[in-house]
Structure 1
């Protein structure tokens, strides 16, 4: 361990971290991201006994650091930007589609938020579904919410948000599904127990995780994460998500993303919304 100057992130160390992150979670970190990586690693250094960036990287990527430090390194590097009702047109498409499926006789729905970050997306899904349930008592739903980061999953399970972060939620939904803490200044808001119970959180790696062996989801939201993947990784994830969807089910991706050349098993429903169109 070097207790001297913490130094800057060398090209060699950048390559080591970038290679590890791409292999572990599929995210590409080209040269122009080097300064961003350094800033994020320095935050991690403050929480460890290391004062030198290079020494910390050697430890984190060693066999000794594999179990405890590598998940924290991934947490430090990966971006977790999200918001309630982000890309709101998606939720309108989902609502109309759910109503159509109900009219055709379907009553149960399984949804997957596949890069859920701190929980805003899956709780938005749960609010949308709960509102539809209120219009039709026969509707049942489950939301699976997964992410690579244990840190954000813990925050998501806590379901507590600032006044600023809940601003995108329409007022009637805030009144129905959020509780204000009277002990906090500024105030904090927590998702109601009834809604929290409809969302199940778990850790999942989109690159190396074991996807469902049978199609089981009616809708999958995998937004604003594949933009960081290589073309090969993105194509592989798309194939896996396709297989996890029920025939006729919907895949939602971010507006800055693309599934690449049109997948033969998908048809476009709306911008960045795709329906599994094959029967197999």
Structure 2
């Protein structure tokens, strides 16, 4: 008996294949067959909420009756979000020790534009903002802005709120906690909230990476897209990184995850180290 028959509404292989196609067509994400039980467990809550009998009814609801709100619930349910503050710390060391000093020397315009694509619950863009704020602390002529995007509305709300449990903040120093976070008291004890000085450097937006055209202007200095493309097949990866190449300015940098590679995906970028690439 299929494991997805237990504890609720069954999901047939045919239903899962329809869900796989919908997710791929809209999000570019390739759901492996091994994800069937996970997807079933996440979507069963939506079926119960809507009082639907099976997943075919749910797919029909999305196609015919939905006003867009339920499709967002669907997106939130099928997307995975895992991140940490200063994840893959070596990349942040290179950003601070090599890339920012280079920008300081060569950029005529004293501004830096960074895109955190697939920002999840916000740890990445806030880590980037801390790194840049520390570097340019005594250089007020410099300005930086970070665009942080994700398709999942729930994680974007978490990012914008900027409230984190103390347990996830261990990668930060005591000085960073004091400088950039407010410590919760009373019923908020055990949490920290990002200060406005940091929040004001970041714009959070919902964005599907596979829109025909990005509503983003070019000349971006750095794009972070880490541990996002692992969910895409080769065709979607090629499409995405070609867009990134067009949006980056000459001399701009692309950061990807430690388990990712552009080999066979895009030969225009020059590999530097630690999964950092450069547009030359």
Q: Which residue in 1 is equivalent to 2:166?
A: 163
Q: Which residue in 1 is equivalent to 2:263?
A: 260
Is the Cα contact below 8 Å between 2:11 and 2:54 reproduced in 1? Answer: no
Higher helix share: 2
Match of 2:236 among 233, 238, 249: 233
Q: Is 1:58 aligned with 2:60? A: yes
Match of 2:208 among 192, 205, 215: 205
Query: Partner of 1:63: helix, strand, or coil?
Result: helix
Query: Partner of 1:117: helix, strand, or coil?
Result: coil
Q: Which residue in 2 is equivalent to 1:110?
A: 113
Query: Structure 1 residues 170, 43: closer, same or farther in 2, change over 3 A?
Result: farther
Query: Partner of 2:146: helix, strand, or coil?
Result: strand
Is the Cα contact below 8 Å between 1:161 and 1:188 reproduced in 2? Answer: yes
**Which shows bigger deviation, 169-178 or 232-241?**
169-178
Structure 1 residue runs of 5 or longer lacking an equivalent are none
- CA deviations over 1:228-275 (Å, ceiling 9, x no partner): 111011001000001110100000011111123273421111121100
Structure 2 residue runs of 5 or longer lacking an equivalent are 1-6
Q: Which residue in 2 is equivalent to 1:91?
A: 92
Q: So what's the TM-score if we normalise by structure 1?
A: 0.91
Is the Cα contact below 8 Å between 2:83 and 2:123 reproduced in 1? Answer: yes
Q: Is 1:149 aligned with 2:147? A: no
CA distance in 2, matches of 1:208, 1:178: 35
Is the Cα contact below 8 Å between 2:268 and 2:279 reproduced in 1? Answer: yes
CA distance in 2, matches of 1:171, 1:158: 21
Is the Cα contact below 8 Å between 2:238 and 2:266 reproduced in 1? Answer: no
- CA deviations over 1:95-140 (Å, ceiling 9, x no partner): 1211121023542100000110111111111111110111433321
Q: Which residue in 1 is equivalent to 2:4?
A: none
CA distance in 1, matches of 2:113, 2:262: 22
Q: Which residue in 1 is equivalent to 2:192?
A: 189
**Which shows bigger deviation, 259-268 or 228-237?**
259-268
CA distance in 1, matches of 2:56, 2:8: 8
**Which shows bigger deviation, 15-24 or 99-108?**
99-108
CA distance in 1, matches of 2:190, 2:266: 46
- CA deviations over 1:145-171 (Å, ceiling 9, x no partner): 001111111111111111111112222
User: What is the root-mean-square deviation of aligned Cα atoms in Å?
Assistant: 1.9
Q: Is 1:22 aligned with 2:27? A: no
Q: So what's the TM-score if we normalise by structure 2?
A: 0.91
- CA deviations over 1:58-78 (Å, ceiling 9, x no partner): 323x22126121111011010
Q: Which residue in 2 is equivalent to 1:76?
A: 77
Query: Partner of 2:22: helix, strand, or coil?
Result: helix
CA distance in 2, matches of 1:121, 1:109: 17
Q: Which residue in 2 is equivalent to 1:40?
A: 42
CA distance in 2, matches of 1:257, 1:48: 38
Query: Structure 1 residues 241, 80: closer, same or farther in 2, change over 3 A?
Result: same
